[in-house]
């Protein structure tokens, strides 16, 4: 779910054609053109809170689980546009469109550090690679109906 939200934000903010955003390196092939590619990969996922609450009006149990997820967004390509987009991704994640998406999905996206230049990792290639670490907090709410206890058995006192 989170990767789809970030994909949607990047597609909207940068007008990226479909297929140029890859999640977890699935279907990713090295660049043969100059346009930027975006690779989103999970780093870690932790549960930071869990609560169970009874809603007596609706006879429902409400379970709320809060997650803390770290992602890496990489911008790769042979054009200088990659460098510009690497520094524009944090701005895109704070745009009005991104905030609307965050509010709709009960999440909040934060930049978790500076953009890292990974271009030299590949040696003398002309490939530009920039990694932007991102932290996301999100909540999953699950409702399930319950059967309340209304009648208890009568107790006997044995003497």
Residue 5 has φ and ψ, to the nearest 5°, of: -65, -45
Question: Residue 90 falls within a domain, yes or no?
Answer: yes
Cα dihedral angle (114, 39, 66, 113), rounded to 10 degrees? 0
Residue 71 has φ and ψ, to the nearest 5°, of: -125, 160
Rounded to the nearest integer, the mean pLDDT of the chain is 85
Q: Domain range spanning residue 13?
A: 2-46+71-132
Question: Residue 13 falls within a domain, yes or no?
Answer: yes
Question: Residue 142 falls within a domain, yes or no?
Answer: no
Higher pLDDT, 25 or 103: 103
CB distance 90 to 132 below 8 Å: yes
Question: Residue 94 falls within a domain, yes or no?
Answer: yes
Domain count of the fold of the chain: 1
Question: Residue 116 falls within a domain, yes or no?
Answer: yes
Residue 6 CA to residue 97 CA, distance in Å, equals 11
Question: Residue 81 falls within a domain, yes or no?
Answer: yes
Judged against a pLDDT cut of 80, whether residue 147 lies above it is answered with no
Question: Residue 58 falls within a domain, yes or no?
Answer: no
What would the pLDDT profile of 59-99 be if each residue is shown by its tens digit? 888 999 999 999 999 998 888 888 888 888 989 999 999 99
Judged against a pLDDT cut of 60, whether residue 124 lies above it is answered with no
Question: Residue 65 falls within a domain, yes or no?
Answer: no
Cα torsion 27, 28, 32, 33: sign:
positive
User: What CATH number corresponds to the domain at position 16?
Assistant: 3.30.2000
Cα torsion 25, 26, 31, 34: sign:
negative
Does pTM top 0.95 for this prediction?
no
């Amino acid at each position: 779910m989170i990767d789809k939200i970030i994909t949607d934000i990047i597609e909207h903010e940068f007008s990226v054609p479909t297929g140029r955003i890859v999640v977890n390196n699935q279907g990713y092939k090295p660049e043969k053109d100059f346009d930027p590619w975006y690779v989103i990969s999970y780093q870690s996922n932790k549960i930071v809170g869990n609560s169970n609450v009874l809603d007596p009006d609706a006879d429902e149990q409400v379970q709320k689980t809060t997650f803390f997820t770290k992602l890496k967004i990489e911008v790769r390509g042979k054009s200088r546009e990659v460098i510009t987009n690497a520094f524009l991704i944090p701005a895109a994640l704070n745009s009005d469109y991104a905030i609307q998406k965050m509010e709709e999905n009960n999440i909040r996206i934060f930049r978790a550090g500076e953009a890292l230049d990974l271009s030299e990792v590949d040696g003398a290639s002309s490939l530009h690679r920039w990694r932007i670490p991102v932290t996301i907090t999100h909540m999953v709410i699950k409702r399930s109906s319950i059967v309340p206890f209304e009648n208890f058995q009568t107790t006997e006192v044995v003497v």
